[in-house]
Amino acid sequence: MTRWGIVATIKADAPDILRFVSYHLELGARRIYIYLDAPCPQAQEALEAHPKTRVIHCNDDYWQRSNNGTRPPMHQPRQTHNATRAYRRSRDVDWLIHMDVDEFLVADGQIASHLAALPDNIQCARARPMELLAGGDPRVEAAFKTFIPAGKRREQTVAALYPTYGDHLKGGFLSHIAGKVFVRTGIKGLKFRIHNAFLNGETNPKHIEMPEIHLAHFHATDWESWHAHFAYRHREGSYRADLGPSRSRERGGITMHELFAMIHAEEGEAGLRHFFAEVCEDTPALRARLEAQGHLHLDSFPFDTSLAKHFPDFAII
């Protein structure tokens, strides 16, 4: 049986951490490595007691042992450092994927079966994202905008979905469209990045797309949460200044950082609220547009059930 695992560097509260872990254990993960980027004693205690999880508290002692005392100031280098470290120590899984706490794998069938069916020479297998529409209860029903492949129709499709802001959205998403990669373990010299893997200067060696596996990204669950995270994401995260535009500058492309700065300067919070309503909210109008373009996916996530099974003492949190 093909064994797969997850590595994640997480700064979150215990309910979110244990929800993420229990869901993927129920999905069939053989091992989950959690690097706590900030203390969370409640989650750490629960994870230490579970036979399929490994938890590492990234305190000063950890960085002294693993990186000569240097804790990278940005979270992205901390993620890649930890992912590569876990990869080099993973002896009990055949494939490892790096993920975030707001990402959940969704598969047509068993993930292990899909990975087992790959040719032996394949080293990297990509799961493309689908982005949650904000609102509602994902335990009952969650609506997603699905990945739009690159090509001539992508820009036309995005413009039809988002008439006001579509020209500035890469693939129609707020966050990444790259997804995440499963990497076959045991490859000497391989280094993880957030969305890719590198080996001897080559990006994603012997790579394949995995259309049967999706990465459900809970990037914006509601307006309040999205707005609360906006300043950080604009400064250091998904909307930071060093990320590229959705199209070339010659064709009028601007970055998400520039788009949000312009909206905020001209219209303030009301402008951000208008953006969120068109692009993120789970409305009948957006569902209809997505369905007409073939990019609406509906699913449900039994978080309570998996949490009660794998962490029964914490099911009430």
DSSP per position, 158-222: HHHH-TTTGGGSGGG-SS-SS-EEEEES--TT-EE-SS-EEETTEESSSEEEEEEEEEEE-S-SS
Q: How far apart are the first and last CA of the chain?
A: 34
The H or E element containing residue 143 is strand 142-146
Q: What is the pLDDT of residue 43?
A: 97
Q: What is the pLDDT of residue 316?
A: 52
Q: What is the pLDDT of residue 236?
A: 87
Report how far apart, in Å, the C-alpha atoms of 179 and of each of 65, 103, 211, 222 are: 31, 10, 11, 22
Distance CA 127, CA 197 (A): 13
CATH code of domain 4-139+175-215+303-314:
3.90.550
Tokens of 131: 């982005």
Q: Name the amino acid, one letter, at 161.
A: L
Q: How do 197-199 and 191-192 pair as beta strands?
A: antiparallel
pLDDT tens digits, one per residue of 94-132: 999 999 999 999 999 999 999 999 999 999 999 999 999
| Backbone torsions φ then ψ of 23, nearest 5 degrees | -60, -45
Q: What is the pLDDT of residue 300?
A: 97
Spans of the chain below 70 pLDDT: 315-317
Residue-range domain boundaries for the chain:
4-139+175-215+303-314
Report how far apart, in Å, the C-alpha atoms of 222 and of each of 18, 25, 191, 218 are: 21, 26, 35, 10
Q: What is the pLDDT of residue 315?
A: 57
